[in-house]
Amino acid sequence: MSWAGLFVLGFITLMLGMVLWSGLSTRNMRGQLVEQLIPALPGLENHLEKAVIYCYTEHCGPCKKMAPDIDRLAAAHPNLFKLDVAHQSTEARTLGVRATPTTLLVENGKVLKALLGANAVAAVEIFLDPDQA
């Protein structure tokens, strides 16, 4: 096999490894208690039954793409919270957030599901307004 072929194979292996690592890290977030985020997210204590925590950074391209939709939803739903991972890294690390955007669906004070990537808006809308789906 040529060096170019080995390089391509190594690159593909690296990319698959990163995807698997990200997927496994979201599994570790399930069941995590979100009470430790209450000081960072005022009002969260009133919405522990059902909430969405959107983890982002200002410099993230996919986060910028999602921002208008998240802001629209946040204006209509007081139980949608935004956590800037760059400024609140300790809080994000306690939950295991390793990539942005990460969207956490919370029920009964625990992470029900963690969604990676910019395609989470539809799932957030369904979670917040199940009757609208």
Sequence-distant (6+) residues with CB within 8 A of 128 are: 52, 73, 77, 79, 80
Domain residue limits at 90:
3-132
The CATH code of the domain that includes 57 is 3.40.30.10
Model-level pTM?
0.79
Number of domains in the chain: 1
Q: Which long-range contacts (CB under 8 A, 24 or more apart) does 37-45 make?
A: 37/81, 37/83, 37/91, 37/94, 37/95, 40/83, 40/88, 40/91, 41/81, 41/83, 43/78, 43/81, 44/81
pLDDT of residue 48: 92
Both structure tokens of 54: 């959107």
pLDDT of residue 20: 54
Q: What is the mean pLDDT of each run of 10 residues along the chain (133 residues)?
A: 78 67 62 88 93 94 93 95 93 87 94 89 88 58
Residue 30's Cβ-count burial label (10 Å; 0-12, 13-18, 19+) is: middle
In whole angstroms, give the CA distance from residue 2 to residue 30: 43
